[in-house]
């Protein structure tokens, strides 16, 4: 570990920053001693329709988890992201769209974006979508995806964006859970030169009877590719816009009315629909975007995430647009046409701030200096990282090659459930330690507890919890508040449990060590082992499956699956390939197993619980130190799994 390397804040960075070390300390103190006063003041950055009188009304008590911020205030998120900027910066570019094909681009001003959002909001109303209705958005990375989100927000509909890489089945499950009335999609997506059959996937998803709530499918034309058309149900986005009026008054929404649902994987069961509400979420996304990235008007900001993930919601759409920023939306992937794509986009659009994931950095790093060869990069002044722990080697490559040893890196730790960044350096305040997300943002009180819930003081390692609420926090899980309470507030009573482990050093810096539950993080994407297992056992020839994460050079974690076949089915390479393809089809390409190992049996306790600890060790060839296996129902399976693993090397 490079514990010794420390990068003090450079004087020129302090000079241009909102927050230096003294300001950080003072504001942080104030934010935790007097959260009401602190957040009342910060909330002025939003435009409220009716001002709030109450600020923080929150309880983490597991008998009564209730989280409300600014509850009696009203506002509209799309107004805050659009209308209020028109006077001062209507002609400023709001979205720079860079197509998958490097020659495709669009520049959309705030005025243009506002007009299209208003039109589409009217069009949605025309399709009988109203306040409180759920709309599923299954789109490629095109400006219309942002328009769709903001149009929902404008009329008080709740959007549920589903990542375009998810399968028809995964999409159907998410539609069924929230009973959405309308699905917005495109004919096809385009990624890395390949077409993604989005409309065909929607058609297939809607054959599932559980999706009966859907009346209309709105289809945006992206590639013009051949698609099937159901005229009673399908409508072209472009046709709707043509006839829709351009004036649409924003709906007055309560601060605690839902803005969106976003499905994410947990350690058990089906994906959870995380509920974010309007006021606190928007305030938190906006403040963190400004302070963590030191965003100044006129700068070009690029977050490489997909809008299908929370990072896209908070740091491509809501945070930047609430701040009147120019946000870059990239349709493609970093490796297409080749690994210089990120550097080329930076130079082409004069990107000042780049926010990406360690997996993309490691993919570039694998090619040495080639990804930055010939690039200028002088527009850049700040780098960010998110999604998984960044290993010091990748940090240094990022710092030296992309950042030219000039740009601070903000390693931002947060989650779908937290709405925005919770632990992060602030560029002008925090000396950097490669691999550490460093210190809490304003109002955030992290702590470490041991497995019994005892607080760990000073330097140490344990389970990462947050002991009090912040405005961006999720309020519930859609339709299942009990599951919300059970998942986050029962493990350690009275605290929000993150599911992550962390270490805190002598300087109070946090080092996230990764998930401590059965959630994997593959290329920065969250995936539940239970989800992959249940998709695997749905295959007619599979009796049982157990999934563990294994270290992977580029993806961070790879997916390793132990499979027990039905009696009489014989293992073969063809079957192995078929099972991989099966998972791609059932969940999506991001869930494709890296390794499938045949397992005559799985190590289980007498009560039937699979001992993943043992499977994790075998998958990396650590056959010693498996701990006490005598409590297993059948200890002999361990040796046979070891033998099979040896045979695969």
Among residues 389, 420, 434, 471, the one that binds ligand WTA under rule CB under 6 A: 389
Q: What mask, x for binding ligand WTA by CB under 6 A, covers residues 418 to 457?
A: -------------------x--------------------
> Could you tell me what percentage of the chain is helix, strand and coil, using 3-state DSSP and rounding each to the nearest 5?
35, 25, 40
CB of residue 222 to ligand WTA, shortest distance in Å: 25
Place of tokens 């896209």: 312
Q: What mask, x for binding ligand WTA by CB under 6 A, covers residues 238 to 267?
A: --------------------------x---
3-state DSSP call for residue 459? Answer: coil
Question: 372 or 512, CB closer to ligand WTA?
Answer: 512
Burial tier of 103 (Cβ tally within 10 Å: 0-12, 13-18, 19+):
exposed
Encoded tokens for 360: 């993309």
Helices 636-648 and 612-619, interaxial angle, to 10°?
30
3-state DSSP call for residue 648? Answer: helix
Q: What mask, x for binding ligand WTA by CB under 6 A, covers residues 269 to 308?
A: ----------------------------------------
Question: 31 or 424, CB closer to ligand WTA?
Answer: 424
β-pair partners for 476: 275
Interacting residues of 204 by C-beta distance below 8 A, sequence separation 6+: 168
Among residues 414, 484, 562, 582, the one that binds ligand WTA under rule CB under 6 A: 414
Among residues 98, 144, 203, 388, the one that binds ligand WTA under rule CB under 6 A: 388
DSSP string covering 530-541, please?
Answer: HHHHHHHHTSTT
Under rule CB under 6 A, residue 386 binds ligand WTA: yes
Among residues 177, 411, 518, 586, the one that binds ligand WTA under rule CB under 6 A: 411
Interacting residues of 270 by C-beta distance below 8 A, sequence separation 6+: 173, 177, 531
CB of residue 361 to ligand WTA, shortest distance in Å: 12
Q: Using CB under 6 A, which residues numbered 517 to 556 contact ligand WTA?
A: 521, 526
- Beta strand 56-59 with 66-69 is antiparallel
Of 497, 543, 520, 522, the residue nearest 589 (C-alpha)? 522
643 CB neighbour count, 10 Å cutoff: 11
HEC secondary structure over 314-335: HHHHHHHHHCCCEEEEECCCCC
CB of residue 519 to ligand WTA, shortest distance in Å: 7
Question: 43 or 516, CB closer to ligand WTA?
Answer: 516
CB of residue 610 to ligand WTA, shortest distance in Å: 22
Choose the stretch contacting ligand WTA; rule: CB under 6 A; options: 10-18, 119-127, 413-421, 620-628: 413-421
* CA dihedral for 377, 379, 384, 387, sign (positive or negative): negative
* CA distance from start to end of the chain: 28
Question: 414 or 470, CB closer to ligand WTA?
Answer: 414
CB of residue 217 to ligand WTA, shortest distance in Å: 27
Among residues 416, 445, 557, 619, the one that binds ligand WTA under rule CB under 6 A: 416
Binding residues for ATP, by number, are 387-389, 411-416, 500, 515, 526
Question: 288 or 343, CB closer to ligand WTA?
Answer: 288
Question: 31 or 288, CB closer to ligand WTA?
Answer: 288
Q: Using CB under 6 A, which residues numbered 470 to 509 contact ligand WTA?
A: 498-500
Place of tokens 């040896």: 646
Question: 75 or 262, CB closer to ligand WTA?
Answer: 262
What CA–CA distance (Å, rounded) separates 484 from 309? 19
Please, how many CA atoms are within 13 Å of residue 53, restricted to the half-sphere of its CB?
0
Number of residues that bind ligand WTA (CB under 6 A): 24
What CA–CA distance (Å, rounded) separates 115 from 509? 45
Q: What mask, x for binding ligand WTA by CB under 6 A, covers residues 303 to 342?
A: ------xxx-------------------------------
- State the residues that interact with ligand WTA by CB under 6 A: 264, 309-311, 385-389, 411-416, 437, 498-500, 512, 514-515, 521, 526
């Amino acid at each position: 570990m490079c514990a010794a390397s420390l990068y003090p804040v450079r004087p020129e960075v302090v000079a241009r920053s909102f927050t230096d070390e003294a300001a950080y300390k003072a504001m942080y103190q104030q934010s935790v001693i007097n959260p009401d006063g602190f957040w009342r003041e910060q909330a002025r950055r939003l435009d409220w329709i009716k001002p709030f009188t109450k600020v923080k009304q929150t309880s983490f008590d597991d008998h009564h988890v209730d989280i409300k911020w600014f509850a009696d205030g009203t506002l509209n998120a799309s107004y805050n992201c659009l209308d209020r900027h028109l006077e001062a910066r209507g002609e400023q570019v709001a979205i720079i769209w860079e197509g998958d094909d490097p020659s495709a681009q669009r520049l959309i001003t705030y005025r243009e974006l506002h007009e299209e959002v208003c039109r589409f909001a009217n069009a949605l109303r025309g399709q009988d979508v109203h306040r409180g209705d759920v709309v599923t958005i299954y789109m490629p990375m095109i400006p219309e995806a942002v328009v769709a989100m903001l149009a929902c927000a404008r009329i008080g509909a709740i959007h549920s964006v589903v990542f375009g890489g998810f399968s028809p089945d995964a999409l159907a499950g998410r539609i069924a859970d929230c009973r959405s009335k309308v699905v917005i999609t495109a004919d096809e997506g385009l990624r890395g030169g390949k077409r993604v059959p989005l409309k065909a996937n929607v058609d297939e998803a809607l054959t599932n009877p559980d999706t009966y709530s859907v009346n209309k499918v709105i289809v945006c034309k992206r590639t013009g590719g051949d698609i099937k058309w159901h005229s009673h149900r399908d409508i072209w986005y472009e046709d709707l816009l043509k006839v829709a009026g351009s004036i649409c008054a924003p709906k007055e929404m309560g601060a605690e009315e839902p803005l969106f649902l976003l499905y994410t994987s947990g350690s058990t069961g089906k994906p959870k629909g995380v509920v974010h509400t309007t006021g606190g979420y928007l305030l938190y996304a906006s403040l963190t975007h400004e302070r963590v990235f030191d965003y100044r008007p006129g700068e070009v900001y690029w977050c490489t995430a997909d809008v299908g993930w929370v990072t896209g919601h908070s740091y491509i759409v809501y945070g930047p647009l609430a701040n009147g920023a120019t946000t870059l939306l990239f349709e493609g992937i970093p490796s297409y046409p080749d690994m210089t794509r990120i550097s080329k986009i930076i130079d082409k659009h004069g990107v000042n701030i780049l926010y990406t994931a360690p997996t993309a950095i490691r993919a570039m790093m694998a090619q040495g200096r080639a990804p930055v060869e010939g690039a200028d990069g002088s527009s850049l002044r700040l780098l960010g990282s998110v999604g998984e722990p960044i290993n010091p080697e990748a940090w240094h490559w990022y710092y030296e090659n992309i950042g030219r040893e000039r740009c601070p890196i903000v390693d931002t730790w947060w989650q779908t459930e937290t709405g925005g960044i919770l632990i992060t350096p602030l560029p002008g305040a925090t000396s950097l330690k490669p691999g550490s997300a460093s210190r809490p943002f304003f109002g955030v009180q992290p702590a470490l507890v041991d497995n019994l819930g005892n607080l760990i003081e000073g330097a140490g390692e344990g389970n990462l919890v947050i002991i009090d609420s912040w405005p961006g926090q999720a309020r519930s899980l859609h339709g299942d508040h009990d599951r919300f309470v059970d998942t986050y507030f029962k493990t350690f009573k009275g605290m929000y449990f993150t599911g992550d482990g962390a270490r805190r050093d002598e300087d109070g810096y946090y080092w996230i060590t990764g998930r401590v539950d059965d959630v994997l993080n593959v290329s920065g994407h969250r995936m539940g082992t239970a989800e992959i297992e249940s998709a695997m056992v749905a295959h007619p020839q599979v009796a049982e499956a157990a999934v563990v994460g294994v270290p992977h050079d580029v993806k961070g974690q790879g997916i390793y699956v132990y499979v027990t076949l039905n009696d009489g089915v014989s293992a073969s390479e063809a079957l192995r390939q078929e099972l991989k393809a099966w998972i791609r089809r059932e969940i999506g390409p991001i869930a494709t197993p890296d390794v499938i190992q045949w397992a005559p049996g799985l190590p289980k306790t007498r009560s039937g619980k699979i001992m993943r600890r043992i499977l994790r060790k075998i998958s990396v060839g650590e056959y010693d130190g498996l701990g006490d296996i005598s409590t297993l129902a059948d200890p002999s399976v361990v040796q046979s799994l070891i033998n099979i693993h040896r045979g695969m090397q």
